[in-house]
Chains A and B, each alone.
Chain A
Amino acid sequence: MVPHLPRMVVAELQAVFGRWSGKAALVLSILIPLAAAAAKVGLESQATEASFNGMPIDQMLDLTAVGVLDWSLTARNAFLLPALLVLATAASVSGELGDNTLRAVLCRPVSRVSVMVAKLSALSILSLASLFLSFLPGVIAGVSLYGMPEDAGIGSIALGYAASWLSDLGLIAMTLAISVFLRNVGGVVVLLILYLMIDKAFGLMLKGLGVIGVDGATTAQKYLPGNALACWEGWNAADGWDPNQFAALALLFVVTLGVSLTRFQRMDVP
């Protein structure tokens, strides 16, 4: 690896945070926990007297700091932030291949592996910053509204945020693997969405096969990329963390990064 890799990462960070996808990711990261807290307050004021199936709705709402963080993390990981991370990743590789800005970089005495590592590092820092900017306002808003929880709830959900970072890394690696084959950001997004839809359908099929007792179907389902990317949900799952999901995520990361590096080293950049 080249000794000036840290400088390359800083330069790449300037590009990643300079694009609208990077800026939007950071702004939304801050807004999501505030919106989650506002939603709790809003629903709390209207629902204290109501009940559902005999349970008061304010209990169902989980009006605690952990409840605010839970909603915030779920909203963050549901669509917007993953979509922005995909856009940021695609812009970083496909976008630069398409507008020829990568050409000037590759004329330089720097290995393509280093360039890819710099891009991956910058994108993982964007994800980390997004999680931090989401977690901190969530804690402040939640604790301000509902006080510090007496149990270890905040620690548990902090692990959920940490697992989200791993999930983001998997998503970034997947997007990189597609990006090195295309010179068009839109194409990367469409292909990734298509893949995730197929993955979902395939997952449901395997789950069904598992229910009717087909050997290995349930295990295979756990190793699908879509399931691996949902590893963060383990923080409050009834069965707790699923090691299979993390193993699948590691496998996804290694395979897709391997594909990216191999292709990037061999490809023509005209």
Chain B
Amino acid sequence: MTAPALMTRGLTRRFGSRTAVDDLSIEVQEGDTYGFLGPNGAGKTTAIRCILGLIKKDAGDVAIFGETGLAARRHVGAMVETPAFHKWMSGRANLERAVAFAGVGDRADIDRALELVGLKGREEEPVGTYSLGMRQRLGIARALVGRPRLLILDEPTNGLDPRGMKEVRDLLANLARTEKLTIFISSHLLSEIEALCSRVGIIEDGRMIAEGQVDELVAGRSSVQEVDVAAVDMAALGRVIGGLDGVSLLGDGVEGRLRLGLDGLSVPGLNRSLLDAGIEVEALVPVQKSLEDLFLALTRKEIT
């Protein structure tokens, strides 16, 4: 069995009396696109900095493809928050600098990274003339030089307009598909993570509170399926529901419908039972749970 792309065990970092990352264990398998979620101040960026060795950890282990320390970083390309560059240098010169310090990669490698992020043709211009979106893409290109197996990105769409966000999202989806990269991405944009990631980890107060496949986590929180129901006679509907087995009234649904919980009863089964009871059903809409619902249920803090 191959070693996980990224594994942390008991990762802990304190700042004075505050524990920013608390006994954090993460496991990312090769090929995963892993979303790292948490409210602001949950410890995402601190955890990423510990993983990359930018800041010291107080306890715990970090292994990347089974290796630790400097050897582990041979497999990693990273972009932490808004990427910084020597602005008077060209985009290419900044990538050449990255290659020189990494000790891996060559001109062809840089050309390939520029091609992948769509900056070919603009690489000789000083970075100071680049838009925020272009700098973000150059940051991803810098992370890609040296052909890493694991890409760690912290808030890669921070500060971008909707078009820029979509461009970066499409780029990452393309990289995961065509380059077979393992991607570890931190973001507070839940729709972005839901669109990109197969697995997620959610942290709060530095601790992992949920980790797993997105669909399993979303579906697996409860055995109860929720549906919104509307009928011609809503009062009659309310009376009938109380007598049906496996059906509970959860409250108001959208557009004046009733939200029902089904436990052991299917949606067609509910429809049949209602018709048998003489209820004329106008709408029967299964409620799709989202990552946002899960996130809100798990975390106490407000999403920003």
Instruction: Map CB proximity to A onto B80-92 as digits: 1 under 8 Å, 0 otherwise.
Output: 1101111011000
Contact between A270 and B142, CB atoms less than 8 A apart: no
B287 at interface, CB cutoff 8 A:
no
Residue pair A109, B73 in contact (C-beta under 8 Å): yes
> Quick one: CB contact mask for B84-108 with A, threshold 8 Å, 1 for yes?
1110110001001110111100000
How many A-B residue pairs have C-beta atoms within 8 angstroms? Tell me: 79
**Interface set, chain A 1-34, CB cutoff 8 A to B:** 2-4, 7-8, 10-11, 14-15, 18-19
Enumerate A97-114 residues with CB–CB distance to B below 8 Å. 99-101, 103-111
Given contacts A15-B86, A100-B84, A111-B70, contact A106 B54 (CB under 8 A): yes
Does the CB pair A8–B54 fall under 8 Å?
A: no
Is A157 part of the binding interface, using a Cβ–Cβ cutoff of 8 Å? no
> Distance (Å) between the CB of B221 and the closest chain A CB?
35
Does A14 lie within 8 Å of B93, measured CB to CB? yes
**B interface: dominant SS:** mixed
The complex places the Cα of A15 from the Cα of B142 at a distance, in Å, of 17
A11 and B97 contact, CB distance less than 8 A: yes
Given A18-B89, A110-B70, A270-B54; A105-B101 close (CB under 8 Å): yes
* Residue in chain B with minimal CB distance to A266: B56
B146 CB contacts on chain A under 8 angstroms: 108
Q: Which residues of chain B in 26-62 are interfacial with respect to chain A, using CB atoms and an 8 Å cutoff? A: 49, 52-56
Q: Is A269 an interface residue (CB 8 A)?
A: yes
Assess the B80–A108 pair: CB atoms within 8 A: no
B interface, size bucket: 20 to 34
| A151 located at the interface, meaning its Cβ lies under 8 Å from any Cβ of chain B in the complex | no
Count class of interface residues, chain A: 20 to 34
B298: CB under 8 A from chain A? no
Contact of B78 with A by CB under 8 A: yes
For residue A115, CB closer than 8 A to chain B, the reply is yes
Chain B residues with CB below 8 A from A3, complex form: 103
The distance in angstroms between the C-alpha atoms of A109 and B105, with both chains bound, is: 13
- Rounded to whole Å, the gap between the CB of B129 and the closest CB of chain A is 16
- Of the listed residues A3, A104, A110, the one surrounded by the most CB atoms of chain B closer than 10 A to its CB is A104
Q: Are A107 and B100 in contact (CB under 8 A)?
A: no
> Given contacts A3-B103, A108-B73, A110-B102, is CB(A101)–CB(B93) below 8 Å?
no
A71 to B50, CA, bound (A): 53
What is the bound-complex CA distance between A150 and B230, given in angstroms?
111
B70 touches A11 (CB 8 A): no
**Measured CA separation A105–B103 after assembly (Å):** 11
The answer, yes or no, to whether B240 is at the interface (CB within 8 Å) is: no
A268 on interface, CB distance cutoff 8 Å: yes
CB neighbours of A4 from chain B (8 A): 100, 103
Q: Does B76 contact A (CB under 8 A)?
A: yes
The one of B76, B78, B86, B101 in contact with A18, judged by C-beta atoms closer than 8 angstroms, is: B86
- Complex Cα distance, B190 from A122, in Å, reads 45
Q: Which residues of chain A are near B74, meaning CB under 8 Å?
A: 109
The distance in angstroms between the C-alpha atoms of A7 and B197, with both chains bound, is 37
Q: Give Cα A223–Cα B255 distance, bound, in whole angstroms.
A: 85
**With contacts A18-B89, A266-B56 known, is A107 near B80, CB below 8 A?**
yes
Pick 28 A–B contacts, CB within 8 A, sort by A: A3-B103, A4-B103, A7-B103, A8-B101, A10-B100, A11-B100, A11-B101, A14-B89, A15-B89, A15-B97, A18-B88, A18-B89, A99-B84, A100-B81, A100-B84, A103-B54, A103-B84, A105-B98, A105-B101, A106-B54, A107-B78, A108-B101, A108-B146, A109-B74, A109-B103, A110-B103, A266-B56, A270-B49
